[in-house]
């Protein structure tokens, strides 16, 4: 992991946190709620300066950030610039403001990336109607004992054509394989092309050769006026995919008491950032978009200490006809949730460090 990659990771993480907290800050200001502190990182404080009635601070724990609002701990609820004094609409907007800003950042960056020719992150290239794109089908893995392995196909091969028809999408490979007892492939390996004949096998009612392949999309020439729609389409698909993965992680955690191996903390994300920086600006931009959506979804989870946990208490109050949970009880629950979150971050970070050193 290079020094430049570490710096880029710090800048990306700081950007995402800054945008998130700006969402809370702007919503609070719009609602007339006093912002007592805007902090990057978590206490204890390194540096702070009061300006415009708000303390702007940098804190020692570099994971996250916060906006401290007047009255959020239950003090002075009757004062007009205190959070509890505001109606449900304003309070809901203030709590979700950070999440909405992360989603907005991701959408805007998707549009910018698309105008610059970036490939979509989650959308199948076939959905890019009217767009021209460079693409090739890459073999990600080969099933042991499959006809593809027996024919000599290897991970990393590029499939140029199937049955004499050039292909750009993995779906085209699937279509040709599904209707043929034998497929004729032209593959590219290390800049050289070779022809292979691969029999298909009938498994589960489908013909297959035993490869996991996906398209690697290069620069895309989008129809410029379609970019806002295409960016929104990609955002929605990405949102669904990340949401589904997160639900799986939570279910796995509560049913087994352990985290999946795919879960990474700051160290693991820094390693991914290093790989993205090495691959180029488009991969780095895609990583920022992915992390921004991921941060937004995680924060809306109804867990104490997160925005979603605070949102749950407001919704509970609304459901009880305005009867609030005792502020001491709510603060205690959020405090315990915050401690659990820190413990989870440190546990995942420790595992990432062990993995990093074991791979050296």
DSSP string, 5-65: HHHHHHHHHHHHHHHHHHHHHHHHHHHT--EEEEEEEEEEEEEEEEETTEEEEEEEEEEEE
Average pLDDT, the chain: 85
pLDDT average, residue stretch 317-342: 85
- 290 within a domain of the structure (yes/no): yes
Q: What is the pTM of this model?
A: 0.78
236 belongs to a structural domain? no
Rounded CA-CA distance 109/114 in Å is 8
Lookup: tokens for 151: 């024919």
In a domain, 231, yes or no: no
Q: Report the DSSP pairing between strands 192-199 and 201-203.
A: unpaired
> Does some domain include residue 227?
no
My answer on whether 210 and 285 are in the same domain is no
Tell me whether residue 335 is in a domain. Answer: yes
Q: Provide, rounded to the nearest whole percent, the portion of the chain with pLDDT above 90.
A: 39
Quote the pLDDT of residue 250. 82
Residue 125 binned pLDDT confidence (cut-offs 50, 70, 90): low
User: Does 239 reside within a domain?
Assistant: no
Let me know whether 112 and 138 are in one domain: no
269 and 353 share one domain: yes
CB atoms within 10 A of CB 127: 12
Q: Are residues 202 and 270 in the same domain?
A: no
Which residues, 6+ apart, have CB-to-CB distance to 356 below 8 Å?
A: 1, 267, 271
Do 141 and 199 belong to one domain?
yes
- pLDDT of res. 329: 86
* Same domain for 190 and 270: no
Question: C-alpha distances in angstroms, 235 versus 73, 138, 243?
Answer: 35, 24, 12
| Residue with the two structure tokens 């000599």 | 152
* Same domain assignment for residues 107 and 141: no
CATH number at residue 198: 2.30.42.10
121 within some domain: no
Beta-carbon neighbour count of residue 289 at 10 Å? 25
Both tokens of 248, joined, read 């799986």
β-pairing, 182-189 vs 192-199, is antiparallel
Looking at 174, 206, 221, the residue that finishes a domain is 221
pLDDT 10s digits, 129-181: 556 667 788 888 888 889 999 999 998 889 999 999 888 888 888 888 988 88
What phi-psi label fits residue 152: left (phi over 0), alpha (psi between -120 and 50 degrees) or beta? left
Q: Are 310 and 37 in contact (CB under 8 A)?
A: no
| Residue pLDDT, tens place only, 68-102 | 999 887 777 788 999 988 999 999 999 999 999 99
* Structural domain of 204: 132-221
Sole residue written with tokens 């959070």: 83
Give the span between the Cα atoms of 198 and 59, in whole angstroms: 60
Q: Give the model confidence (pLDDT) of 226-284 as tens digits.
A: 899 999 999 999 999 999 988 888 887 778 777 666 667 676 777 777 777 777 788 88
106 shares its domain with 250? yes
Residue in 118, 131, 128, 215 with CA at minimum distance from that of residue 173: 215
Residue 353 confidence (pLDDT) above 90: no
Cis peptide upstream of residue 248 (ω within 30 degrees of 0): no
Counted domains in the chain: 2
**11 and 91 housed in the same domain:** yes
Q: Are residues 265 and 323 in the same domain?
A: yes
Identify whether residues 307 and 254 lie together within a single domain: yes
Look at the block and give the residue holding tokens 């693409």. 135
According to the model, what pLDDT value does residue 235 have?
96
Statement to judge: residues 217 and 279 lie in one domain: no
């Amino acid at each position: 992991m290079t020094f430049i990659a570490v710096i880029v990771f710090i800048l990306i993480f700081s950007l995402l946190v800054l945008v998130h907290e700006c969402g809370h800050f702007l919503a609070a200001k719009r609602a007339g709620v006093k912002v007592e502190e805007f902090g990057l990182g978590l206490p204890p404080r390194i540096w702070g300066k009061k300006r415009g009635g708000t303390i702007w601070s940098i804190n020692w724990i570099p994971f996250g950030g916060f906006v401290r609002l007047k009255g959020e701990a239950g003090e002075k609820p009757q004062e007009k610039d205190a959070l509890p004094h505001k109606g449900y609409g304003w309070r809901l907007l203030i709590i979700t403001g950070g999440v909405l800003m992360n989603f907005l950042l991701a959408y805007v960056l998707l549009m910018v990336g698309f105008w610059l020719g970036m490939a979509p992150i989650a959308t199948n290239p076939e959905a890019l109607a009217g767009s021209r794109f460079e693409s090739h089908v890459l073999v990600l893995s080969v099933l042991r004992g499959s006809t593809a392995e027996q024919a000599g196909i290897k991970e990393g091969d590029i499939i140029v054509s199937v049955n004499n028809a050039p292909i750009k999408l993995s779906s085209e490979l699937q279509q040709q394989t599904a209707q043929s007892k034998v497929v004729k492939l032209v593959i590219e390996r290390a800049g050289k092309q070779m022809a292979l004949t691969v029999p298909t096998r009938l498994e589960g009612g489908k013909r297959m050769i035993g490869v996991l392949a996906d398209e690697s999309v290069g620069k895309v020439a989008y129809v410029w006026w379609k970019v806002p729609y295409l960016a929104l389409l990609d955002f929605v698909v990405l949102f669904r995919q990340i949401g589904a993965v997160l639900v799986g992680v939570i279910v796995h955690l509560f049913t087994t008491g352990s985290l999946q191996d795919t879960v990474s903390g700051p160290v693991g994300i820094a390693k991914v950032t290093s790989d993205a920086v090495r691959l180029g600006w488009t991969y780095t931009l895609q990583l920022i978009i992915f992390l921004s959506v991921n941060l937004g979804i995680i924060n809306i989870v109804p867990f104490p200490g997160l925005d979603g946990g605070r949102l749950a208490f407001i919704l509970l109050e609304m459901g009880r006809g305005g009867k609030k949970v005792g502020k001491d009880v709510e603060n205690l629950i959020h405090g315990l949730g915050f401690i659990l979150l820190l413990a989870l971050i440190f546990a995942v970070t420790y595992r990432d460090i062990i993995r990093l050193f074991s791979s050296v």
